[in-house]
Amino acid sequence: MKKMSIIRFKPKPEYFDEYVAAITDFISTHKREGIHEQYVMTKDDEVFSVVIRDADMLEKSAKEGVEFLDTVRHMLQEYNPIDRHTIPLTGDLVL
């Protein structure tokens, strides 16, 4: 089974381009086991990461993503005190 994750980020305006460059560099230069497809999308003032991965690799892959996030967190605005810097959505890919 495969999982699809869509993660929303809201960079601080002064870091928008730098954040987009950092996340696209991360996905293009870091080969991560179990990842089938990965995209970055922008809309208005938000950045979206879309990832399709093997379900059994979700935990490892998510950990690598959080490690990356820790290096760029200073570029992001918080959505709210609960979600903080990301709004993630993950589910089974039915296809």
Domain containing residue 70: 2-92
Q: What is the pTM of this model?
A: 0.91
What are the pLDDT digits (tens) for 12-23?
Answer: 999 999 999 999
What are the pLDDT digits (tens) for 41-53?
Answer: 999 999 999 999 9
Name the domain count of the chain: 1
Residues in the chain: 95
Give the domain CATH number at 71.
3.30.70.100
Tokens coding 31:
């080969």
Closest Cα partner for 5 from 73, 54, 45? 54
